[in-house]
Chains A and B, each alone.
Chain A
């Protein structure tokens, strides 16, 4: 069963195998027990342990000759009663904890067979504690007590076992090795059916446990430093230290070892100790003690002193003390091998050190901590919170006990609310995997049942949207002391600025800032910002297309939050709610942003997005945050009546792209779908009319509204791969955004409608439905087709037909970009598009970089193969009610 079986005969191996099989069967049977079954067993075990506390303490004293009977009895009671108090209401079977807000529950799985080594210093209490923990967690235990504490431990195991089995525990749940030896321990530590080693004892035992390669809880030696600071309650501190250090003759590894005392109180503290029957050693006595109780070879305490009374130790080395002496106190001048008493002393001998400052005191405590006590326990007595904080930061200890005794304090449940234990995790400093007080949760495999997160969805839009002719008059509703109108040169020339100015309340100071009509550069934004600050504006009216409105959004962001770092805010992200960049929330000034759109495409008047041109890097930076959204949107068709045909076409297709991408977005919802589908219907119906008959006010008005409606959809569902590619390609070759979108659009529809190479990993994606959504659009447009594939083909064809009708170039090649130049650019463009936040995590397909490159090439070559079944006439919209039914069908 194990490869590591040194010095063991066949009979012994057979015996050990028998123990393991018995424990294994018990553990297997135990898996069927319920929480109620387990709790019915634990309580009588606790009662049995309490009843036998003194009996076991006497046995331990008789056998080990260490410690104090009364204290061991108390420890047995703590190990049963206090531990029971902690575990009685804990769930340790089945579902043990629930985190409803995280959609997470934890389910317990027993470990199976535990191999537990118990120490000589705390023999029976440790057994009682571990038995209760094991039953509570449905595990079986094979005990290997310290050979010099075997009789008392095996009696403790017997008492626990009989109580447990009597009340229903599986037979064989506890066993105790007869005459345990190191080879026995080694064999069991390596046994394949032992699930966990729980080793409490000396450094050798702990090291062996951790070296076995098995999961192990190894808890060993400490060296507890104590800082007795001048603000402390000295009487309480002295009594606490005496209580702790003399408890069971100092055998608890968390007990105080060296007390570092502030100079100002040093003498007073020693006098208080002396008044309570401590013997204060002079220098000669301290040296004598150091030689006598510490082995100079190993640097560790000699076994003869461990767990003995102060008077016994003094007598053994010829030190003259009063008969009632309970503690020996030896001043030391430093820490380390040349100061032998600075190590762990599991007997009533305390080293003391006089410190001239807090700094010196903390350093000496760190030295003690690092002289064999890393990760274990430390104690501070102080009423100064700052001192306590510094101590806690300086000392590496799993338990930092404040104004209480170290030993009983570290055990938990008596002086504080720590978990009661007889096993102290010492963290990595002590070679342990935990700093916890070992408890039931360390005896369990805890399974996390993680239910799918149903992230909150949203539909956020600006406070007010005014639309239809003369909507601009509503500007008069907004009082302002100082307003800046951000606009473009053309709009100023054709009188649009004057129209707006007429409606600004008369008492308002108005300044007009004219910026280039191109995607805003940082330089332009910063110049505008100076104007905003100079005029101390409280209102910004952005009059223009997407570029002007985007510039105004960024100007306002910098005006209100000067610390905003545009480069950082434009950093890529996967999930907008978890992104690294934090948009500022504290504002140094405030300005209302009114967006008056003069093109029918971007919908920037309602979106939380602004695109900034990074000329140096030849790319666009997308800023996205709802704090960028304008406060008021004005969608007045009078401002688009004079849009040139080309701009009408490009911006109209931008609007269509927004709606189509939002429609198939992973973040699409019934709220966004209703807007997206309506916008698509309006574009197919009114864009050709607006293009061919620019004076048709109804078509212009409907397209203006369609752009805004599509923007409401994509503001909440986002866009996708089409935009990512258009951003990359458009920035590189100076192609207007709408036109770049148009060149990609038919190819991206076909791409998204194909079964993904990689699905988008998003909890919002409950099913892959993009192809069905496109088919639904085709139905909405009355394009015909019998299958989903046919409908998608018809939608692509209809889109191609629309682009033809708008005289939009049908390939990148038609733009005059040489193939060689394009070929050189494609790898980088595909990479830039992959980094673009537009598609993450909303596109229905997670694009591969190679797929993005393929799409760029498809757009370069142009027109997809014509579908002979495509309708020859522009489609017409169906009744919107039909859509609702089809939507629910598509989701199925």
Chain B
């Protein structure tokens, strides 16, 4: 497992700490940070806000954020918020 992979292990607000951790890793990251959404069924407003913050921070630091295993429901939320162009997606 690459060091710059962050696993989101719970739904909704529970994903926020992991997202904050990912933001913290942006400083030391080279190239990309991977967020693994495989265990995430849905996100809540705070997680969504954290994802927006992460995107802005990553862009500022020139780091590519890869979202892995995002399900369709969460992808649709990102799409509605027009956040999806700011990330790369992997299955």
Contacts and interface: CB of A to CB of B under 8 A. Distances in A.
Nearest to A28: B80
B74 A32 contact: yes
Given A24-B80, A24-B81, A29 B43 contact: yes
Nearest to A112: B80
Interface string B61-91: 0000000000001101100110000000000
Contact of A32 (B46, B49, B73, B81): B73
A28 B45 CA distance: 9
A309 B45 CA distance: 47
Interface in B32-80: 41-46, 48-49, 73-74, 76-77, 80
Contacts of B41: 32
A172 B45 contact: yes
A32 B43 CA distance: 8
A560 interface: no
A29 B45 contact: yes
B81 A25 contact: yes
Given A31-B80, A32-B73, A32-B77, A25 B43 contact: no
Contacts of B46: 171
A170 B80 CA distance: 15
A79 to B, nearest CB: 27
B42 A27 contact: no
A744 interface: no
B74 A25 contact: no
Contacts of A32: 41-43, 73-74, 76-77
B76 A171 contact: no
A750 B11 CA distance: 62
A29 B40 CA distance: 13
A688 B66 CA distance: 75
A740 interface: no
Contacts of A24: 80-81
A874 B43 CA distance: 74
A24 B79 CA distance: 12
Contacts of A27: 80
B24 to A, nearest CB: 23
Contacts of A28: 48, 76-77, 80-81
Interface in B1-52: 41-46, 48-49
B45 A25 contact: yes
A548 interface: no
A25 B73 contact: no
Contacts of B81: 24-25, 28
Contacts of A170: 44-45
B53 to A, nearest CB: 12
A26 interface: yes
A27 B74 CA distance: 13
A31 B46 CA distance: 15
B31 to A, nearest CB: 29
B77 to A, nearest CB: 5
A741 to B, nearest CB: 56
B74 A26 contact: no
Contacts of B44: 29, 170-171
A171 B76 CA distance: 18
A171 B44 CA distance: 8
Nearest to A22: B45
Contacts of A112: 80
Contacts of A171: 44-46
Contacts of B77: 28-29, 31-32
A675 B12 CA distance: 64
A26 B44 CA distance: 8
A544 B45 CA distance: 83
A29 B49 CA distance: 11
Interface string A158-184: 000000000000111000000000000
A743 to B, nearest CB: 58
B32 to A, nearest CB: 25
Nearest to B44: A29
A28 B82 CA distance: 10
Nearest to A165: B45
A26 B43 CA distance: 11
A615 B43 CA distance: 75
A26 B47 CA distance: 11
A25 B48 contact: yes
A371 B44 CA distance: 50
B49 A25 contact: yes
A319 to B, nearest CB: 57
Contacts of B43: 29, 32
Contacts of B49: 25
Nearest to B77: A28
A236 to B, nearest CB: 53
Contacts of B80: 24, 27-28, 31, 112
Nearest to B80: A28
A112 B44 CA distance: 15
B48 A31 contact: no
Nearest to B73: A32
Nearest to A110: B80
B42 A26 contact: no
Contacts of B42: 29, 32
Nearest to B47: A29
Contacts of B74: 32
A101 to B, nearest CB: 30
A642 B42 CA distance: 83
Contacts of A25: 45, 48-49, 81
A27 B44 CA distance: 11
B86 to A, nearest CB: 15
A112 B82 CA distance: 14
A825 B44 CA distance: 72
Interface in A284-301: none
Contacts of B76: 28, 31-32
Interface in A1-44: 24-29, 31-32
A25 B52 CA distance: 11
A170 B42 CA distance: 12
A878 B60 CA distance: 77
Contacts of A29: 42-45, 48, 77
B67 to A, nearest CB: 16
Interface string A560-599: 0000000000000000000000000000000000000000
A29 B15 CA distance: 14
Interface string A607-624: 000000000000000000
A723 B4 CA distance: 72
Nearest to A37: B42
A760 B14 CA distance: 55
Nearest to B79: A28
A26 B45 contact: yes
Contacts of A172: 45
The CB with the most chain B CB atoms within 10 A, among A25, A26, A112, is that of: A25
B46 to A, nearest CB: 7
A719 to B, nearest CB: 48
A172 B81 CA distance: 14
A614 to B, nearest CB: 60
Nearest to A27: B80
A341 B86 CA distance: 63
A31 B44 CA distance: 11
The CB with the most chain B CB atoms within 10 A, among A25, A32, A172, is that of: A32
A112 B79 CA distance: 13
18 contacts: A24-B80, A24-B81, A25-B48, A25-B49, A25-B81, A27-B80, A28-B48, A28-B80, A29-B42, A29-B43, A29-B45, A29-B48, A31-B80, A32-B41, A32-B42, A32-B43, A32-B73, A32-B74
Given A25-B81, A170-B44, A171-B46, 10 more contacts: A25-B45, A27-B80, A28-B77, A28-B80, A28-B81, A29-B48, A31-B80, A32-B42, A112-B80, A172-B45
Interface of A: 24-29, 31-32, 112, 170-172
Interface of B: 41-46, 48-49, 73-74, 76-77, 80-81
- Across the A-B interface, the 9 shortest Cβ-Cβ residue pairs: A32-B42, A28-B80, A171-B45, A28-B77, A32-B73, A28-B81, A170-B45, A29-B45, A25-B48
